[in-house]
């Protein structure tokens, strides 16, 4: 009896405990907790084409590969490396801009006869000489200038060079003459003869012009000169170069004894600076002499002249030097070499 009552009490207690457990669970089976390594999936995301999205709240606990890591895992396309030489050669070649030569100045046009009328028998030391008794004329065939002399003058020696520009126009002349002049000696009541050496030079007015072009223009010619101590006619070779980019000129004069003069801008400077050419074509500078022993060059004269004719193709002028021995004097003429003349 007692055992039966004890069994009934135990069954009753178990029933009460079972009902209590069912009431607190709501009659619902417990769900499994999400794994520590699995992302939480929203229910709404499941309905979107069946694809799962990662909840922002679970990003910290999820090992999501970074963008750079994804790139490392992907197969990269090989890079094409082109040598710099090929890149440079593939670039279109750029043409260098051409330097246009400035326009040539307009020069007056003269026939030989018109030009000759503007020239006179001109001594570089004393100006116009002869009082109309020594005149210039053109020879019939070669169209060179020669002298016509009337009494009381007589020609003892003469050397006259005609200057023409690259177009063949008469520009002027330079030269040397030795003339004798007969005079009455009132004391002796007889005639006497005076000898005089003259360095002559003249150019047509309006033809002095700065050379026009690009690069360099080379000139060749000569100087006729004499020393006062020994008044004999001498010749020297002249070479000059005009530099169009700087508008400067260099000039060397080589005598026949191994010496040389060069033209410089400054008399006192040791530097050999080239002489500038004025817009009018005028040139002036100092001459320094180099002896054949190669001693230090010394100041030994002045040059005054300029460029004349078409494109400044004639360089001419006179040179002088004075000292206690009398110095020297001469006239210079040079023309542009045809192969080096730069036309605008």
CA–CA separation, 163 and 203 (whole Å): 9
- What is the pTM assigned to this prediction? 0.68
The 10s digit of each residue's pLDDT in 34-93 is 444 444 444 444 444 444 444 444 444 445 444 444 444 444 555 555 555 554 555 555
**DSSP state string for 318-335:** EEEE--TT--EEEEEEEE
- Top-ranked range on mean pLDDT: pick from 25-29, 48-52, 54-58, 323-327: 323-327
pLDDT score for 90: 54
Owning domain of residue 264: 216-336
Please answer whether residues 198 and 338 qualify as being in contact, where contact means their C-beta atoms are separated by less than 8 angstroms. no
Cite the DSSP H helix spans in the chain: 2-25, 43-46, 67-73, 84-90, 112-118
Name the band, by pLDDT with cuts 50, 70 and 90, for residue 342: low
The yes-or-no verdict on residue 158 having pLDDT over 80 is: yes
Instruction: Tell me if residue 41 falls in helix, strand or coil.
Output: strand
In a domain, 4, yes or no: no
In a domain, 15, yes or no: no
The reply to whether omega before 152 is within 30° of 0 (cis) is: yes
Tokens of 231: 């008044």
In a domain, 71, yes or no: no
221 in the same domain as 191: no
Which of 140-144, 152-156, 257-261 bottoms out in mean pLDDT, i.e. has the lowest? Answer: 140-144
For residue 207, the surrounding DSSP H or E stretch is: none
pLDDT score for 102: 54
Number of domains observed in the structure of the chain: 2
The yes-or-no verdict on residue 171 having pLDDT over 60 is: yes
Average pLDDT over residues 293-315: 95
pLDDT score for 97: 57
Please answer whether residues 66 and 73 qualify as being in contact, where contact means their C-beta atoms are separated by less than 8 angstroms. no
CATH number where 317 lies: 2.40.160.90
Pairing verdict, β 134-138 and 145-149: antiparallel
Please answer whether residues 314 and 161 qualify as being in contact, where contact means their C-beta atoms are separated by less than 8 angstroms. no
In a domain, 97, yes or no: no
pLDDT score for 104: 54
The 10s digit of each residue's pLDDT in 264-288 is 999 998 889 999 999 999 999 999 9
In a domain, 12, yes or no: no
């Amino acid at each position: 009896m007692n055992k039966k009552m004890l069994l009934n009490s135990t069954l009753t207690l178990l029933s009460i405990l079972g009902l209590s457990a069912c009431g607190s669970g709501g009659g619902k089976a417990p769900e499994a907790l999400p794994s520590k390594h699995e992302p939480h999936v929203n229910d709404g995301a499941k309905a979107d084409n069946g694809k799962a999205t990662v909840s922002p709240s679970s990003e910290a606990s999820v090992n999501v590969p970074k963008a750079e890591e994804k790139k490392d895992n992907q197969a990269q396309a090989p890079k094409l490396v082109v040598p710099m030489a090929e890149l440079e050669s593939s670039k279109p070649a750029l043409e260098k801009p051409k330097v246009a030569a400035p326009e040539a100045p307009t020069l007056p046009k003269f026939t030989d006869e018109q030009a000759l009328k503007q020239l006179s028998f001109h001594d570089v030391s004393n100006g116009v000489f002869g009082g109309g008794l020594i005149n210039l004329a053109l020879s019939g065939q070669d169209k060179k200038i020669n002298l016509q002399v009337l009494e009381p003058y007589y020609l003892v020696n003469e050397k006259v060079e005609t200057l023409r520009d690259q177009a063949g126009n008469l520009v002027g002349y330079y030269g040397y003459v030795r003339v004798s002049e007969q005079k009455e000696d009132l004391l002796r009541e007889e005639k006497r003869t005076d000898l005089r050496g003259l360095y002559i030079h003249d150019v047509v007015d309006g033809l002095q012009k700065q050379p026009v072009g690009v690069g360099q223009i080379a000139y060749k010619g000569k100087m006729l000169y004499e020393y006062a101590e020994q008044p004999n006619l001498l010749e020297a070779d002249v070479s000059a170069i005009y530099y169009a980019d700087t508008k400067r000129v260099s000039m060397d004069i080589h005598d026949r004894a191994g010496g040389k003069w060069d033209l410089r801008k400054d008399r006192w400077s040791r530097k050999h600076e080239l002489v500038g050419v004025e817009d009018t074509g005028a040139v002036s500078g100092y001459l320094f002499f180099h002896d054949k022993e190669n001693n230090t060059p010394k100041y030994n004269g002045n040059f005054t002249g300029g460029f004349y004719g078409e494109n400044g193709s004639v360089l001419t002028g006179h040179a002088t030097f004075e000292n206690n021995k009398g110095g020297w004097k001469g006239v210079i003429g040079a023309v542009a070499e045809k192969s080096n003349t730069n036309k605008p």
